[in-house]
Amino acid sequence: MEIIPFIGATLGIGTVVIVVLFINGWLALKILTVSVAIQQVKDNAIAPKLMGNLTGLSPVMILIALLLGAQFGGLLGIILAIPLTGVVKSLVEIIVDPALPPQTGSFFYNPMKNSEISDIQG
């Protein structure tokens, strides 16, 4: 259910808890507790770090961008917050230091540009 943005995890957890609730109420409560705890860690610690590595933004900036996106644009603001923040960051970097080469982040690392590989091929 994670493929559905923002509500997929809740729908998945809710579905499993409802099904298990018919079998064993105590087990359903345990599943709900563990699932929500794991989801919170993933959404608030792991996902911002991964997005930061991909976009070059710090996890704090990603969380701030998501909060501001939610405040000003609602659901659409949340969806567009990280891409827009990445664009703004890139524009600021270009304005501050126009000599920077484009696409220098680790996400854009090209292992085929390694001199050893070039020597083997050429």
Per residue in 2-46, pLDDT (tens digit) is: 777 667 888 999 999 999 999 999 999 999 999 999 988 888 788
Give the pLDDT confidence score for residue 50 in this predicted structure.
79
Residue 67 CB partners (closer than 8 Å, separation 6+): none
Give the tens place of pLDDT for each residue, 51-110. 777 777 887 888 888 889 989 988 888 888 888 998 888 888 778 776 766 655 555 555
Give the pLDDT confidence score for residue 49 in this predicted structure.
78
Q: Can you give the residue ranges of every domain in the chain?
A: 8-109
Give the span between the Cα atoms of 3 and 6, in whole angstroms.
9
Q: How many CB atoms lie within 10 A of CB 81?
A: 22
Nearest alpha carbon to residue 65 among 86, 90, 46: 86
Quote the tokens at residue 100. Answer: 């920077």
Give the pLDDT confidence score for residue 66 in this predicted structure.
87
Give the span between the Cα atoms of 55 and 106, in whole angstroms.
9
Cβ burial, residue 22 (10 Å; 0-12/13-18/19+): exposed
Q: Confidence band (pLDDT; 50, 70, 90) for 111?
A: low
3-12 b/e (C-beta count within 10 Å ≥ 16 → b): eeeeeebeeb
